[in-house]
Amino acid sequence: MAVSKEEIKKLSILARLGISEKEINSLRTDLDKILDFVSGLKSASAAEAPLEGFVGNVLRDDKEGHAAGEYSAALMEQATEKEKGYIKVKKVLPDGRQGFDD
């Protein structure tokens, strides 16, 4: 299974993971090797085993968890950019949605 350069670029955007031009080829080779390694599975016979009902949903009562703001300061402390108690990021929807393919 040969992974194309286009495929790698698509994956990199999906995974929000930048890949430099010089890395693309070594990553293609690595991915090819690994996919080769795992594709024996495609031909394995897999008589459908029923989904195990071993663990169910684990819920808690819908009542007061903790006081509002109790953990906010600790959790906000390490944010890269903050403003007035909010985490600050660049525009999520840039004009014309440039750069986002999904």
Partner 1 sequence: MTKINLAELNIKQAHELLQNGSLSARELADFYLENIKKHDNKIHAYLEVFDDVLEKAGEVDREIKKGKEVPLLAGIPVAVKDNILIKNKKCSAGSKMLEGFVAPYSAGVIKKLEHEGVIFLGRTNMDEFAMGSSTENSAFGPTRNPYDLDRVPGGSSGGSAAAVAQQMSLAALGSDTGGSIRQPASFCRVVGLKPTYGAVSRFGLIAMASSFDQIGPLAKSVEDAEIIFNVIKGRDSFDATSIDGGSTSAGRSNLPVENLVLGVPKEIYDFDGENSGIDQSVVAAFQQTIETLKALGIKIKQVGLPSLKHVMEVYYIIMPAETSSNLARYDGIKYGFFKKGENLLADYMKTREHGFGAEVRRRILLGTFVLSAGYYDAYYGQAQKIRRLMRKEFEKIFSEIDIILSPTSPTPPFKIGEKIDDPVKMYLADIFTVAANLTGAPAISVPAGPGGAQFMAPWFEEEKLFNIAKILEKNL
Q: Provide the binding-site residues for partner 1, judged by CB under 8 A.
A: 3, 7-8, 11-20, 27, 30-31, 33-35, 37-42, 44, 46-52, 54-55, 58, 60, 71, 74-75, 77-81, 87, 89-92, 94, 98-100
Minimum CB distance to partner 1, residue 83 (Å): 13
Minimum CB distance to partner 1, residue 27 (Å): 7
State which residue, 47 or 68, has the beta carbon closest to partner 1: 47
The Cα 96–Cα 75 span in angstroms is 33
State which H helix or E strand residue 21 sits in. helix 21-38
- How far is the first Cα of the chain from the last one, in angstroms, to the nearest whole number? 25
The residue type found at 53 is: G
